[in-house]
Structure 1
Amino acid sequence: MTDEATLNALREAARLSPENLPLRRHLADQLLASGNPGQAEHEYQAALALSPADHGIAIGLAEALVRQGKNEAALAALDPLLAMPEHPVRAGVLAAQAMLPVNRMAAAHWYRYSIARDPSQADPELAHRLGIGQSSSPAPHAQPQTPPPVSHAQPASPAPAPPAQPPSLIPAAHSPSVIPAPHAQPQAAGGQYGSADVEPTAEVEHSPVTFADVAGMDTVKEALRMKLLLPTQQPELFAAYGKRAGGGVLLYGPPGAGKTHLARAAAGELGAAFVNVGLADILDMWTGSSERNLRATFAMARRNRPCVLFFDEVDALAARRSDMRQAHSRQIVNQFLAELDGVDEHANEGVLVLAATNAPWYIDVAFRRPGRFDQMVFVPPPDTVARAAMLSLMCRDKPQAKMDFDKVARATDGFVGADLKGLVDRAVEAKLHESIRAGRPIPLSTGDLMAAAKAMRPTAVREWLGTARNYVLHANESGAWDELLPWLRDLR
């Protein structure tokens, strides 16, 4: 349990650096762990305002609310997460806790459904309160069943038919409401889920980031410049060779290497619209809706050309069809392929499709056909020179003494961009403690970064390369993974 002095130091640091998201979230987590859910609620709300799409913060807020007995507010915080096709399991367990006082049956349904997906999230005390014995707990890897919707107003009567549009999880103040079971299918064909006209949830942005804000990665930037940027910037030259603006590039590499940052920089370099497509923007529990969402997203990109359309974690949308058990999942892949091809050869002209994945070997081979993602670009871990440049960029807006970023770069072999960002955040938090005690800002030093580097380890590069080795050595008949061979020679 965190002592009060540490909490006070964290509070003061958060007051001095109110937009420091990791610090806000850390303070909220520590307050919750120390039995201060009311104060934790306030900090989670502040963190959520800085990062509204962060699922972990929303779950922390819901937990703080449940511990205070604010069950309706907790359900309101969980509502967007539980509407996802694959909601976070912890969110389902918290929903069961919040529903328990008003609808034991619905709470039991949500609890069973959630822990069937991840038995490690089982809560024996909650299961006892729900009247669920050990014998009824799901076996590991059991398929979660979809229970019927339940009305907490009349638990003994048959459940009412679900409406065409799923209701909110927030109970009405003065009238009975139906709390939907996980992924219950609507019976009506019309309304929001039966209409062919779908408004995409992804938004058009204009990225302020350019290649000047991306340290190192010169080979990757040159590949993106030749494939995506120059055909738009010099259309006459490329037209002379029969090349048009548009096409697709698949970025792959270890987690945290900067694939999303590169995509934003490509859009900023071009001055094009940028559409960052997340899984929640496409995947939907209702049959046919995912395909409509995908079609609507491409249509929006075509209306805003030149446009960089970016799909993160694309392996979830473009997985190998031979691995899929459900026809619905294969239809999503088919729709994606059709949108990449376009209704005619000019349909996607000016639409630059970028995709990123940590697992390119799981992507259906049809996506690598010319005219689709015909160029795969490996985004490697940064080398020593790139790490020094990245550290310099990350520290440029902070008070600092004379820094030896090369020294820190040499001490951070195997660190990717996300690791370096965490290193700088840790050094800044330590420096904030010193500044609070001194009553004045103290410049960041090389020693601060070195101390943080000694306390950290690279997160995922070696594990990712270990997985990649299996494909490079045993499934590389086409030569698709030759680019990874130099990186595997030094893997012990």
Structure 2
Amino acid sequence: MPEESPAPESPPESPLIRSLRTAVAAAPGDIPLRLHLAELLLSTGLHDAAVTEAAAALQHAPGDAAARELMVRAMGMPAPPAPPAPIEPADPVAGRDVSSRPSGFDWRAAEQEVDGIVEPRFVEPPLGVDGSGDPGDADAWEVSAPGVVRLADVGGMQEVKDRLEAAFLAPMRNPELRRLYGKSLRGGLLLYGPPGCGKTFIARAVAGELGAGFLSVSVNDVLDMWIGNSERNMHEVFETARRQAPCVVFLDELDALGAKRSRTQHSGMRNTVNQLLTELDGIDSAANEGVFVLAATNVPWDVDLALRRPGRLDRTLLVLPPDAPAREAILRYHLRERPIEAVDLGRLVKATDGLSGADLAHVCESAAESALLDSARTGVIRMIGTKDLLDAAKSVVPSTEPWFAAARNVAMFANEGGMYDDLVTYLKKRRKL
């Protein structure tokens, strides 16, 4: 088999190019300087580097004609053809019929000759399935099929399940009672609490209980650098959910998507919050039928108050660190495929009081790491025991403590209208208030 010839090496950079690179790094917004560097790179055969610099210039100045022309040359693309010169009428005298043509020229034959060569001036884009004019919008958001996760799969946390059932799920499961009492098939629920305590998993379990699709949305999915695109993305999220109802729209990190507008300096972010309010209200009373909105945040006090008004995310649920049954279920889950021996799960559950679900996963990981290192040193496989897990639990600082430190101040001084009564009750029970 013939050997493949090695790829040609790029020519080395000259001292002048290196100096220009230093100058561009010091002034990244200097477009002429960056284009001069790109021209030198292109002239020395460094096409890829020239493309990189031209792209950086276009990021700073999207409409710069010189940067666009240099990008075309660096990529080896043919220059766009010049527009055809306009055909002057045979007789430009005012009032003369300019549509008349010399009798000796066959215009129809000329049109057939250039047919297919001259591009049309305007091309109408195909409409999307929703008539928006953007064929990509229909598939921009992926809705997960109704999952198999149910609330029964959430270990412990019975109080949270009971609150969900009473405030959210029961009206949705009983259509006859819903019609009797005039309850709309709409819902908005805000899950809040310390990080790592299972708010996203609970949201998926709610979608499973409702037999609804699940559409998870984060700030990265919505926010866009171009004006108007963030609002359009938010609208498309809800349009997708309406088309595929019943559907649960899960707004993750709501404090980023719906931050208080009074604290937001950027007008684009304020417009995005306004668009979210519009979508929650629906175009009319039936627009959001079958669309259930769940949101999660670690800092509900940073969420715009308008989002929590009646008819929007007007119900809240505090999701606290897992209780004893939940901790046992989480520990069993993370130890199920690890080599364990004679683990006293009861002692471990007591020793991990106050840890979040993420902390418990870290405890199991640390214990497994300790046993693995001992096995590597001795050459004898050692099982994970109770001591490994208890030692790991002692070394883990609860990740929820900073959250409770901030929440304590909110519960004491900013509990307007009893918004955080559940939090106050928990802090008093734990003697943290």
Query: TM-score, normalised to structure 1's length?
Result: 0.62
- Equivalent residue, structure 2, for 1:472: 411
Asked if 1:154 corresponds to 2:12, the answer is: no
Letter in 2 for 1:323: R
Change (3 A) 1:419 1:236: same
CA contact 2:189–2:294 (8 Å) conserved in 1: yes
**TM-fit CA distance, 1:289:** 0.7
- Equivalent residue, structure 1, for 2:56: 180
Please list the CA deviations of residues 294-334 of structure 1 after superposition, one character each: whole Å capped at 9, or x if unmatched: 00111111122111111111111111111122322211111
- Equivalent residue, structure 2, for 1:364: 304
Which whole-Å CA distance do the structure 2 matches of 1:314 and 1:428 have between them? 35
SS in 2 for 1:274: strand
Please list the CA deviations of residues 167-186 of structure 1 after superposition, one character each: whole Å capped at 9, or x if unmatched: xxxx9638644132697474
- Equivalent residue, structure 2, for 1:433: 373
Asked if 1:407 corresponds to 2:347, the answer is: yes
Please list the CA deviations of residues 265-320 of structure 1 after superposition, one character each: whole Å capped at 9, or x if unmatched: 22233332111111110011111110001001111111221111111111111111
Pairing partner for 1:322 from 247, 262, 281: 262
SS in 2 for 1:219: helix
CA contact 1:252–1:357 (8 Å) conserved in 2: yes
- Equivalent residue, structure 1, for 2:295: 355
CA contact 2:222–2:234 (8 Å) conserved in 1: yes
Letter in 1 for 2:411: V
Change (3 A) 1:253 1:176: closer
CA contact 1:247–1:348 (8 Å) conserved in 2: no
Taking every aligned residue pair, what percent have the same amino acid on both sides? Answer: 44
Letter in 2 for 1:286: W
Which whole-Å CA distance do the structure 2 matches of 1:282 and 1:261 have between them? 22
SS in 2 for 1:356: strand
Asked if 1:203 corresponds to 2:142, the answer is: yes
Which whole-Å CA distance do the structure 1 matches of 2:18 and 2:216 have between them? 38
- Equivalent residue, structure 2, for 1:287: 227
Which one has a bigger Cα radius of gyration? 2
Which whole-Å CA distance do the structure 1 matches of 2:149 and 2:20 have between them? 49
CA contact 1:272–1:307 (8 Å) conserved in 2: yes
CA contact 1:462–1:491 (8 Å) conserved in 2: no
**TM-fit CA distance, 1:446:** 2.1
Change (3 A) 1:255 1:241: same
Asked if 1:420 corresponds to 2:360, the answer is: yes
CA contact 2:20–2:37 (8 Å) conserved in 1: no
**What does 1:135-146 align with in structure 2 at a 5 Å threshold?**
none
SS in 1 for 2:224: coil
CA contact 1:277–1:310 (8 Å) conserved in 2: yes
Change (3 A) 1:154 1:254: same
**What does 1:98-137 align with in structure 2 at a 5 Å threshold?**
103-108=21-26
Please list the CA deviations of residues 350-376 of structure 1 after superposition, one character each: whole Å capped at 9, or x if unmatched: 111111111101111111111100101
Letter in 1 for 2:426: W
- Equivalent residue, structure 2, for 1:9: none
CA contact 2:191–2:297 (8 Å) conserved in 1: yes
CA contact 2:38–2:49 (8 Å) conserved in 1: no
Unaligned runs of 5+ in 2: 1-16, 40-45, 65-122, 126-131
Change (3 A) 1:286 1:449: same
Higher relative contact order (CA 8 A, sep 6+): 2
CA contact 1:201–1:281 (8 Å) conserved in 2: no
**TM-fit CA distance, 1:453:** 0.7
**TM-fit CA distance, 1:410:** 1.2
**TM-fit CA distance, 1:451:** 1.7
Change (3 A) 1:149 1:342: farther
Unaligned runs of 5+ in 1: 1-98, 111-146, 158-170
Please list the CA deviations of residues 409-429 of structure 1 after superposition, one character each: whole Å capped at 9, or x if unmatched: 211222111111111111122
Asked if 1:212 corresponds to 2:152, the answer is: yes
CA contact 1:152–1:176 (8 Å) conserved in 2: no
SS in 2 for 1:173: helix
The count of corresponding residues between Structure 1 and Structure 2 is 340
Pairing partner for 1:238 from 172, 178, 194: 178
Moved more, 481-490 or 341-350: 481-490
Which whole-Å CA distance do the structure 2 matches of 1:364 and 1:252 have between them? 14
SS in 2 for 1:355: strand
- The alignment's C-alpha RMSD in Å is 3.2
Letter in 2 for 1:263: A
Letter in 2 for 1:180: A
- Equivalent residue, structure 1, for 2:336: 396
Please list the CA deviations of residues 248-277 of structure 1 after superposition, one character each: whole Å capped at 9, or x if unmatched: 100100111111121122223333211111
- Equivalent residue, structure 2, for 1:343: 283
Which whole-Å CA distance do the structure 1 matches of 2:281 and 2:47 have between them? 47
Please list the CA deviations of residues 352-405 of structure 1 after superposition, one character each: whole Å capped at 9, or x if unmatched: 111111110111111111110010111111223332232123223333334322
CA contact 1:202–1:278 (8 Å) conserved in 2: no
Query: TM-score, normalised to structure 2's length?
Result: 0.70
Change (3 A) 1:320 1:400: same
- Equivalent residue, structure 1, for 2:99: none
